[in-house]
Chain A
Amino acid sequence: MTDAATLFGLCAAGLVGLGVYALIVNPQPLRKILAFNVVGNGVFVLFGAVAYGGGALGWGGDPVPQALLITGIVVAFSATALAVALLLRLFDETGSATLASDAPAKPDADAGEA
């Protein structure tokens, strides 16, 4: 049982790492939104692993994290919806979806500036 929890924990760490990397490196807002979801899922998997391992209480299958997790998923979903709505509105206004506004417009402004 502990092994499964460890495995899930490692998966969670991997997801969080990937997501944070993408969130920082990718300049496109849509990818940032997806990356946020990857990080969020990593945290949720970790919570699942904590519940499965029983955590401090030592029960197998602690139900409290499951309840919190569902709330967390709802929050993440609302956040994604809000971000996508803003992005669509931005696209309607400007015809492009980029966050690079107050960076000084350089002729060689390439990737990396989000």
Chain B
Amino acid sequence: MTTTPGGLLLVLAVLVPFVGVLAGFALGGRNAQRVATLTILAGAGVAIAIAAAMARSGDALVYLLGGWAPPLGIALRADGLALVMMLAVAVVILGIGVYARADFGTPAAVREARAPLVFWTLLLAIWGSLNLVFVSGDLFTLYVALELLTFAAVPLVSLDGKADTLRAALRYLLYALLGSVFYLLGAVLLYGAYGTLDIQLLSQRIVPEPATLAAAALMTAGLLAKTALFPLHLWLPPAHAGAPAAASAVLSGLVIKGSWFLVVRLWFNVFPGVVNLQSAQLLAALGAGAILVGNVVALRQERLKLLVAYSTVAQIGYLFLMFPLAFGAAAGLDASDALTGGMLQAISHATAKAAMFMAAGLIYLALGHDRIAGLAGVARALPVSVLTFALAGAALMGLPPSGAYVAKKLFFDAAAGSGQWWWELVLDVGGLLTASYVVLVLAHALCPAADPIEPRKPVSRMAEGAALALALCSLLLGFVADGAISLDALSSALTLSDLWSAILLVVGGGALAAALGHRLPPLAVGDAVVALGRPLRRAMLAAGGMLAWTDGMLRQWPVAGLALIAVAIAFGAAILTGR
């Protein structure tokens, strides 16, 4: 293995953001924002250059640090997966950078304010750590990258310094540390068994034996804790809902993708010969649990930001559905259409969720609150923000031509191909539930207010534009994907049957919202339907209450700790019994 032409770009992808972090701290004050702006532009340029270099060589880029080849040295390696993630992250960071100028400008009267300085430097730190996660070719470097990511993300949670957000940050940090210790333990076991931590060398040497099995189970469970996959999501809702909108967009859109990407790396590149269909089914079953519980609890929230945070809990579930579907006819994981679908889902969620949090933040800014029941009239006052919310919601539901729609198509094909019809059911129910809370919010927002709303603070046009642009990115991702992976999913995108299923999705979602939501949107249902639906609604509310209670129990610390151990053991058992 040698350094390829353009390999130095991988070093720049990591180095540029971190140079920005140091320069931002050193120069301080309002210079931090200027440095961040420059760095974001430079970093986006590096990402594009990497894409160009890979397009030229048609192969992965490699850089050997100090010219030493593994196992003695450390390699940076960017393949297609790393590239798409790097590009997606660059786009989202760009959007957030534009959006946050309004929120995190340093006021004219002071030389330096704490929140802007911390936000701009940590935004760059998160970017650098994410790029390191994408290009590392070594499990220990990945550990360090993940820890950097967590250390950069935790302070963003408590930017406003209130007691609640400090508590949420501390919970997040402690649980993430528990997860990363599990990961490190697994890495140590692998080193003990194979004498290397390089991903390529490991994948050649690895054999199914007890140490490998334990390592796979521990590392997977630890990473799931950092990704906040159900039932290990205790830290996510308070952390993501309490942070300022721009920070929530980073945390929800990008940070959780770091550890998720590492699970993908491990399963597809390190352990493909060790993991089996049973363990993949378990992973997706947890995902299905996330979709059900996250969506239903989201529907029951009274505050918009908490609703969006719970929607993230659910969307994390989608990211794990691809694992059993990627088991092709040949035994073992292969880089199939299901993997493409998973990546699309991740990118689609990153852009859509960032846009959704931004829109929620603007609504909060204008109203001074984000109670869903008090949203009436906001569509008149903030049409662009409500439109952004609707478009991002449509992208999350998987309406054509969004990236999630193409992903869903790929998942359906893979499910039909391997006879796993139950995951199609999960996808359908999940789409319906997603539609329900989007419709619920929109129904409230579109209601005319008794008297027109005067925004408390002027809303920045630029921030609105950035949010809208990200939502459009997510919604139009299908076209990009269609060009890149040449599948004919989109040629049939606007056929009549798809139109019908889209309408059905929205109407069904509305019905579900009426049945399950806490407060009925006032214009949605007539009296006769209400009278007819009352017993049904009571039953649905009871079921929703059960799920919310389950969620509350699982988010108690002792339960979550035990759940982590249980998940690790379950993965070990699944891998063991499958052989």
Kindly list chain B residues whose C-beta atoms are within 8 Å of the C-beta of A103. 556
Within 8 A of A (CB), among B167-200: 167-171, 173-174, 177-178, 181, 184-185, 188, 191-197
Kindly list chain A residues whose C-beta atoms are within 8 Å of the C-beta of B192. 46, 50, 53, 55-56
- A47 to B191: give the CA distance in the assembly, Å: 9
User: Any chain A CB within 8 A of the CB of B479?
Assistant: no
User: Any chain B CB within 8 A of the CB of A94?
Assistant: yes
- A40 to B182: give the CA distance in the assembly, Å: 9
Q: Taking A46-B185, A55-B191 as contacts, is the C-beta distance between A89 and B557 under 8 angstroms?
A: no
- A89 to B161: give the CA distance in the assembly, Å: 8
User: Any chain B CB within 8 A of the CB of A61?
Assistant: no
User: Any chain A CB within 8 A of the CB of B154?
Assistant: yes
Name the residue of chain A whose CB is nearest to the CB of B184: A43
- A85 to B163: give the CA distance in the assembly, Å: 13
Contact between B185 and A82, CB atoms less than 8 A apart: no
Contact between B174 and A29, CB atoms less than 8 A apart: yes
Kindly list chain A residues whose C-beta atoms are within 8 Å of the C-beta of B193. 55-56
Partner of A27, one of B162, B164, B557: B557
- A71 to B345: give the CA distance in the assembly, Å: 34
Partner of B188, one of A32, A50, A62, A112: A50
User: Any chain A CB within 8 A of the CB of B166?
Assistant: yes
- A33 to B176: give the CA distance in the assembly, Å: 12
User: Any chain A CB within 8 A of the CB of B539?
Assistant: no
Kindly list chain B residues whose C-beta atoms are within 8 Å of the C-beta of A53. 192
Within 8 A of B (CB), among A62-90: 62, 64-65, 68, 71-72, 75, 78-79, 82-83, 86-87, 89-90
Kindly list chain B residues whose C-beta atoms are within 8 Å of the C-beta of A11. none
- A31 to B193: give the CA distance in the assembly, Å: 33
Name the residue of chain A whose CB is nearest to the CB of B158: A86
Partner of A36, one of B161, B164, B177, B562: B177
- A15 to B185: give the CA distance in the assembly, Å: 12
Contact between B556 and A113, CB atoms less than 8 A apart: yes
Q: Taking A86-B154, A93-B163, A103-B556 as contacts, is the C-beta distance between A43 and B174 under 8 angstroms?
A: no
Contact between A43 and B167, CB atoms less than 8 A apart: no
- A27 to B154: give the CA distance in the assembly, Å: 20
Point out residues on A near B: beta carbons under 8 Å.
16, 20, 23-25, 27, 29, 32-33, 36, 39-40, 43, 46-47, 50, 53, 55-57, 62, 64-65, 68, 71-72, 75, 78-79, 82-83, 86-87, 89-90, 93-94, 99, 101-104, 112-114
